[in-house]
Amino acid sequence: MQKNDGMNYAPKGKPNLVVQKGEFTFAAIALDHGHIYGMSNGLLEAGAELKWVYDQDPAKVAAFVAKFPQAQVAASEEEILLDPEVKLVASAAVPSERGPLGIRVMEHGKDYFTDKTPFTSLDQLAAAKAVAEATGRKYAVYYSERLHVESAVFAGQLIEEGAIGRVVQVIGLGPHRLNAPSRPEWFFEKDKYGGILCDIGSHQIEQFLFYSGCKDATVVSSKVANYHAKDYPELEDFGDATLIGDNGATNYFRVDWLTPSGLGTWGDGRTLILGTEGYIEMRKYIDIARDPQGDQLYLVNQQGEKHYSLHGQVGFPFFGQLILDCIHRTENAMTQAHTFKAAELCLIAQEKAVRVE
Strand, helix or coil for residue 231: coil
For residues 357 and 355, give the distance between their C-alpha atoms in angstroms, rounded to a whole number: 7
Q: Is the pLDDT of residue 327 over 90?
A: yes
Average pLDDT, the chain: 96
Is 180 part of any domain?
A: yes
Please count the residues of the chain.
Answer: 357
pLDDT band with cut points at 50, 70 and 90 for residue 241: very high
Is 259 part of any domain?
A: yes
Q: pLDDT tens-digit profile of 171-220?
A: 999 999 999 999 999 999 999 999 999 999 999 999 999 999 999 999 99
Burial 207-228 (b: 16+ CB within 10 A, else e): bbbbbbebeebebeebbbbbee
| Domain encompassing residue 186 | 146-316+347-355
DSSP H or E stretch at residue 203 = helix 201-212
Q: What is the CATH number of the domain that holds 311?
A: 3.30.360.10
For residues 351 and 80, give the distance between their C-alpha atoms in angstroms, rounded to a whole number: 35
pLDDT band with cut points at 50, 70 and 90 for residue 11: confident
Is 186 part of any domain?
A: yes
For residues 295 and 59, give the distance between their C-alpha atoms in angstroms, rounded to a whole number: 33
Is 282 part of any domain?
A: yes
Q: pLDDT tens-digit profile of 72-120?
A: 999 999 999 999 999 999 999 999 999 999 999 999 999 999 999 999 9
pLDDT band with cut points at 50, 70 and 90 for residue 12: confident
Tally of domains within the chain: 1
Q: pLDDT tens-digit profile of 26-64?
A: 999 999 999 999 999 999 999 999 999 999 999 999 999
Give how far Cα 96 sits from Cα of 71, 72, 127, 199, 242, Å: 26, 26, 13, 11, 25
Burial of 97 (0-12, 13-18, 19+ CB in 10 A): middle
Is 290 part of any domain?
A: yes
Single-letter amino acid code for the residue at 75? A
Of all residues in the chain, what percent carry a pLDDT higher than 90? 95
Q: pLDDT tens-digit profile of 13-22?
A: 777 899 999 9
The residue-averaged pLDDT of 326-336 equals 98
Is 285 part of any domain?
A: yes
CB-based contacts of 295, cutoff 8 Å, min separation 6 = 149, 150, 151, 284, 309, 310, 311, 313, 314
Is 300 part of any domain?
A: yes
Is 91 part of any domain?
A: no
